[in-house]
């Protein structure tokens, strides 16, 4: 069964909008795990506009499932990850101005940089994943970096699926098949939702983990967090 990791950035955004500590991100992480989530994901950015670096430290003793920290490996990020030692670090090439992640790595152009960063994390016992577009050349490049896994950037699939284009899954399936052949684990995330999750899962062989944030929190406003987590788990069976 594919694991569900809940991205709690949106909870931090809501908290920060009022300047207090409500909702509390640590308590929310405890709750989603209690409701059945098999991991907690955070994505701190340099301006700390949602998850703060201190949140990453505060969450460490409370995440007893899988702890996944995403982000651009700038020096401050690398220092934090090495201090916390989460289950997994997912490398994402965010620009500072990006509202949300909007592209995967060019694993060929940035190979030397990625190799160096990944070696450091792996020496410290941290599983590594690279955020990539659904391009088989980028999957081959990811293998050359020494990464343990790739995370497929699924925004294009989600958009096309909403328009009725089921063929949008094809490049993702091809990348998954190649990843399995190369011995790369497969994660996925970005705009996956209750509407498209089952179809995506059924067509991606070897899918190990999905990281769901914006859609899950939005759906929970109507359906409730505990209920929505169980609905995702059903689709991932």
Per-residue pLDDT of the chain (237 residues; tens, 9 = 90+): 899 999 999 999 999 999 999 999 999 999 999 999 999 999 999 899 999 999 999 999 999 999 999 999 999 999 999 999 999 999 999 765 554 556 799 999 999 999 999 999 999 999 999 999 999 999 999 999 999 999 999 999 999 999 999 999 999 999 999 999 999 999 999 999 999 999 999 999 999 999 999 999 999 999 999 999 999 999 999
Catalytic residue check, 202: no
Per annotation, catalytic residue among 38, 50, 190, 209: 190
Q: Give which of 5, 63, 77, 65 is closest to 29, Cα–Cα.
A: 63
Catalytic residue check, 214: no
Element (H, E) at 56: helix 53-59
- Return the pLDDT at 1: 85
Catalytic residue check, 190: yes
Residue 197 DSSP one-character state: H
Cβ atoms of 130 and 189 closer than 8 Å: no
Q: For residue 46, what are the CA distances in angstroms to 74, 76, 118? A: 9, 8, 20
Q: Give which of 32, 19, 57, 51 is closest to 230, Cα–Cα.
A: 32
Per annotation, catalytic residue among 38, 50, 66, 70: 70
């Amino acid at each position: 069964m594919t694991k569900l990791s809940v991205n709690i950035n949106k909870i931090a955004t809501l908290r920060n909008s009022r300047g207090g500590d409500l909702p509390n991100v640590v308590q929310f992480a405890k709750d989603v795990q209690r409701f059945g989530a098999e991991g907690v994901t955070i994505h701190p950015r340099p301006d700390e506009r949602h998850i703060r670096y201190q949140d990453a430290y505060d969450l460490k003793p409370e995440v007893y499932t899988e702890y996944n920290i995403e982000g651009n490996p700038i020096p401050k990020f690398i220092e934090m990850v090495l201090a916390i030692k989460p289950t997994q670090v997912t490398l994402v090439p965010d620009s500072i101005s990006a509202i949300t992640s909007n592209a995967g790595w060019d694993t060929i152009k940035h190979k030397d940089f990625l190799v160096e960063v990944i070696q450091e994390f792996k020496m410290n016992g941290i599983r590594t994943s690279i955020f990539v577009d659904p391009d088989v050349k980028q999957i081959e490049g990811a293998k050359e970096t020494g990464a343990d896994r790739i995370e497929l950037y699924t925004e294009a699939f989600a958009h096309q699926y909403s328009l009725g284009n089921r063929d949008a899954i094809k490049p993702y399936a091809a990348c998954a098949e190649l990843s399995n052949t190369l011995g790369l684990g497969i994660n996925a995330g970005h705009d996956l939702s209750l509407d498209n999750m089952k179809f995506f899962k059924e067509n991606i062989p070897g899918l190990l983990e999905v990281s769901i944030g914006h859609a899950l929190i939005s759906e929970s406003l109507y359906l409730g967090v505990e209920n929505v987590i169980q609905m995702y788990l059903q689709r991932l069976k």
